[in-house]
Amino acid sequence: MNTQNVSIKIAAQKSSERWGSDPKARLDCVIAEQRSYLAQLCQVWNLQLSQKDEAEQVLRLLSLMSDNVHKEGVLCWERSYPLVSFHVVQPWLQAKDHAIRLYGVIGREAWEIARKDLCNNINFAQAMMRLEAR
């Protein structure tokens, strides 16, 4: 078993432990979690944190959302670009506007970091799949 298969197997086990093995139920849980992260993002400013702590919280939430898009939101990897669940990606895209509106430069920079991480993760997964197909 190569490392990609091991990584996928471990990720699947963790996701199964977290949300169960029924695909529809899992997707429903991920969507609910995305909405929860979006709500939390909109409330970080209420915590009256230092600028550094606020930036960390905003980035943490955006990163958790992008991880869900990558790990649970992709419905099909067999295309030139992955097919993702609209309902998983929608709150993440809404988070961009909220992050910029509520947190200004901090929100924009956190969004860019999370977006780049998502792009890198998807590109890496696609590259690994192409290697396995050889």
Q: Is residue 38 exposed (0-12), middle (13-18) or buried (19+ Cβ within 10 Å)?
A: buried
**The pLDDT of residue 18:** 65
- One digit per residue, pLDDT tens: the chain, 134 residues? 444 444 444 444 455 566 677 888 999 999 999 999 999 999 999 999 999 999 999 999 999 999 999 999 999 988 888 999 999 999 999 999 999 999 999 999 999 999 999 999 999 999 998 888 88
| Residues forming a β-bridge with 76 | 83
**The pLDDT of residue 32:** 97
**The pLDDT of residue 13:** 47
**The pLDDT of residue 4:** 40
Q: Taking CA 39 as the corner, what is the angle to CA 38 and CA 41, rounded to the nearest 5 degrees? A: 65
Given a contact cutoff of 8 angstroms between Cβ atoms, the answer to whether 69 and 84 are in contact is yes
Looking at the chain, which runs of residues are DSSP E strands? 74-76, 83-84
List the chain domain ranges.
3-133
**The pLDDT of residue 79:** 86
DSSP 72: I
**The pLDDT of residue 3:** 41
Residue with tokens 């899992």: 26
User: How many angstroms separate the CA atoms of 134 and 125, rounded?
Assistant: 15
**The pLDDT of residue 70:** 96
User: How many angstroms separate the CA atoms of 57 and 53, rounded?
Assistant: 6
